[in-house]
Amino acid sequence: MPSSPHSSLVRTEAFRPAIGLGNCHLQTIFPRYHRPRPWIHTQCQWLQTPDGDRLALHTPAPLRDDASAPIVLILHGLEGSVESPYVQGIMQALKASGFQVAVMHFRGCGGVPNLLPRAYHSGDSADPRWLAGHLRERFPATPLMAVGYSLGGNVLLKWLGEDAEQSPLSAAISVSAPLDLHASSRRLQQGFSRVYQRHLLSSLRDSLRRKAQNPELAHKMPKLDEARYFSSFRHFDDHFTAPLHGFADVDDYYTRASSKPLLKHIQIPTLILHAADDPFVCRSAIPEPHEVSPSVTLEISKQGGHVGFISGSLWRPQYWLEARIPQFFLDNMPNCPE
């Protein structure tokens, strides 16, 4: 296990793919169809944001102020929700390990449109930062941790880099984050990855159509019947994401929203889990040890796909993330003896 010039570690042997599921696309797609419909019931609380919008916070049980039971904030991926299989799985695993869990829906996710023309994006660190402040006020004795997947992972890492030593979190984990949005947009234009791009853009279009049923919002948004706006993420981000969220254009958005340049500023124990064969992310986006701070541990596996990491076998799949994530948080409990 080679160490970097910092204290960061690069581990490549931790994950082994399931027999029969070595292909990156099988790793990526299999969990979506293998796992049952959502099995954990949650309560939804709507929180009013300072700019007059709303965020949905889902919890399996009412949160409590308990120094021995940290709250883990879960940030889902693009067009995800509390019903996403990976969110359901990690909620169950964290609960079994004694953690409290809370899932933040990014604005407009979960099938309920938000109230403003803007929605959410890959660098939207302001909302989880505001929510973390809200949770700290309500539960001052309770440690706060976070795990982010894909888009949510990039948001989380950007937030940690921006806040540095001021972060309210005790520990954090990022899974399959795009890290470099320029490179990821190019990767999704290649080969079978275009299938994922098409699926996600279709979902985004459906979400915008639901929002456009409100005429006051519809006239402030770009035209949804322009097919070329949905032909690639680069076009979508240039015509929707950038103008609706205050960026000059798509390149300005990708540059300012990418988390990779901020990784060296992170000051809390942070684990970055990533697969080199991720079909959403160029290998060039994966950070080297010298590009992260001493507080960051890199675990880069050769295989695993995008938010996959299925071990065991095709007949008895094991969701490796649901063991690794709780273990890292347990190892980094505040005031936990070495």
Distance of alpha carbon 90 from alpha carbon 126, whole angstroms: 24
Query: Which residues, 6 or more positions from 265, have their beta carbon under 8 angstroms from its beta carbon?
Result: 160, 161, 162, 164, 293
Is the pLDDT at 288 greater than 60, yes or no? yes
Mean pLDDT to the nearest integer, 116-135: 97
Q: What residues have CB less than 8 Å from 187, skipping those under 6 apart?
A: 193, 279, 280, 281, 282
Helices 151-163 and 126-138 cross at an angle (nearest 10°) of 70
Higher pLDDT, 254 or 12: 254
Taking alpha carbons only, the member of 12, 7, 9 closest to residue 276 is 12
pLDDT attached to residue 33: 86
Q: Give yes or no for residue 2 having a pLDDT over 60.
A: no
**pTM of structure:** 0.94
User: HEC string of the chain?
Assistant: CCECCCCCEEECCCCCCCECCCCHHHHHHHHHHHCCCCCCCCEEEEEECCCCCEEEEEECCCCCCCCCCCEEEEECCCCCCCCCHHHHHHHHHHHHCCCEEEEEECCCCCCCCCCCCCCCCCCCCHHHHHHHHHHHHHCCCCCEEEEEECHHHHHHHHHHHHHHHHCCCCEEEEECCCCCHHHHHHHCCCCCHHHHHHHHHHHHHHHHHHHCCCHHHHCCCCCCCCHHHHCCHHHHHHHHHHHHCCCCCHHHHHHHHCCHHHHHHCCCCEEEEEECCCCCCCHHHCCCHHHCCCCEEEEEECCCCCCCCEEEECCCEEECHHHHHHHHHHHCCCCCCC
Q: pLDDT above 90 covers what percent of the chain?
A: 86
Tens digit of pLDDT for each residue in 208-266? 999 999 998 988 888 888 889 999 999 999 999 999 999 999 999 999 999 999 999 99
Confidence category of residue 269, pLDDT binned at 50, 70, 90: very high
Q: Identify residue 317 by its one-letter amino acid code.
A: P
Per-residue pLDDT band for 330 (boundaries 50, 70, 90) equals very high
What average pLDDT is seen over the chain? Answer: 93
What CA–CA distance (Å, rounded) separates 227 from 22?
35
Say which amino acid occupies 68.
S
Residues tagged active-site: 150, 278, 306
Among 8-17, 68-77, 279-288, the range with the most confident prediction by mean pLDDT is: 68-77
- pLDDT one-digit tens code per residue, 292-329: 999 999 999 999 999 999 999 888 999 999 999 999 99
CA 18/CA 27 separation, integer angstroms: 9
Residues 199-205: what's their mean pLDDT? Answer: 94
pLDDT tens, position by position, 43-74: 999 999 999 999 999 999 999 999 999 999 99
| Structure confidence at residue 11 (pLDDT) | 61
Over range 195-204, report the average pLDDT: 95
pLDDT in the model for residue 308 = 96
Ordered structural domains, the chain, with CATH: 10-184+260-331 (3.40.50.1820)
Whether 4 has a pLDDT exceeding 90, the answer reads: no
Average pLDDT estimate for 125-145: 98
Question: Taking a C-beta distance cutoff of 8 angstroms, is the pair 292, 272 a contact?
Answer: yes
pLDDT of residue 7 exceeding 70: no
Tell me the average pLDDT across 176-184.
97
